[in-house]
Structure 1
Amino acid sequence: MDALIHAMVGLHIVGIACLLGGFLTQMKAMGRGQARMTPAMLHGALAMLVTGVALVGLHRSQGHTVDTFKIGLKLALLVVVLGLVYVKRDEERVEAAAFGTVGALTTANVFIAVLWV
């Protein structure tokens, strides 16, 4: 079971990398008003959602306690990010506020995961 949990954590990190990497590579374009939501950002957000839910289920199935407030907050942030990326995925240019929100909420999600013990 531990190997499965570690595999899910690895895939969760890959999802974060896709989402945050897609944002970071377009920060210059965001400044010019030419940023767009890439397919990698959408797939990364979906991977985060699926693997995050799987991780909670795997931990609960082993009898571990899960901080439901922390997980709920992370889920809420991810749902907003996923909604923004999904709705704006076909637009050639995304306004800087929406694009910046995706980056800020994704970064906040990472810091919540790492710093909230």
Structure 2
Amino acid sequence: MEILFKILVVLHFVGLASLLGGFLVQMSTKPRGINNAMLHGVLTQVVTGIAIVGIISADLLEDETVDNSKIGVKLLIALFVLGAVLLGRRKPADEQQPYWAAAGALTLVNVIVAVFV
């Protein structure tokens, strides 16, 4: 189970890289908007995050515990990012900037929560 856990953690980081990379690449474009990298990144983050917490919560790994408060906050933020990405994709390109900005800012907040809380 440990190898599956590590694979999921790597995929979780890949999702973060895709989401943040997609956000950052849009900084130099006009109009700024949601791209496929952001969509695939946030979906990867949510799915792998839930799987990682499930493995730890099921006591399938030794010496690993879950801080449910932290995970709840991170999941809520991730769902808001997912909502911003999905809603932004439904808008015309010139109206996506607020959704793009919200997705990027909330992603950075989620990283801060992961590291400092």
TM-score bracket, normalised by the shorter chain, equals 0.7 to 0.9
Give the AA of the match of 2:100: F
Which residue of structure 2 lines up, in the alignment, with residue 38 of structure 1? 35
Q: Hey, what's the Cα distance between the residues in 2 that align with 1:94 and 1:11? A: 31
Q: Hey, what's the Cα distance between the residues in 2 that align with 1:71 and 1:115? A: 13
Which residue of structure 1 lines up, in the alignment, with residue 17 of structure 2? 17
RMSD between superposed Cα atoms in Å: 1.5
Scaled by the length of structure 2, the TM-score of the pair is: 0.88
**Unpaired stretches in structure 1, ≥5 consecutive residues:** none
Which residue of structure 1 lines up, in the alignment, with residue 48 of structure 2? 51
Give the AA of the match of 1:24: L
**Residues 1:99 and 2:96 aligned together:** no
**Unpaired stretches in structure 2, ≥5 consecutive residues:** none
Scaled by the length of structure 1, the TM-score of the pair is: 0.88
Which residue of structure 2 lines up, in the alignment, with residue 85 of structure 1? 85
Q: Hey, what's the Cα distance between the residues in 2 that align with 1:52 and 1:35? A: 27
Give the AA of the match of 2:36: P
Q: CA deviation at 1:95?
A: 4.4
Higher normalized contact order (CA 8 Å, seq sep 6+, divided by chain length)? 1
Contact residue 37 and residue 94 of structure 1 kept, 8 A: no
Q: Hey, what's the Cα distance between the residues in 1 that align with 2:96 and 2:36? A: 17
1:61-80 → structure 2 map (5 Å cutoff): 61-62=58-59, 64-80=64-80
Task: Tell me how many residue pairs correspond in the alignment.
Answer: 113
Q: Hey, what's the Cα distance between the residues in 2 that align with 1:46 and 1:94? A: 22
Q: Which moved more, 1:2-11 or 1:62-71?
A: 62-71
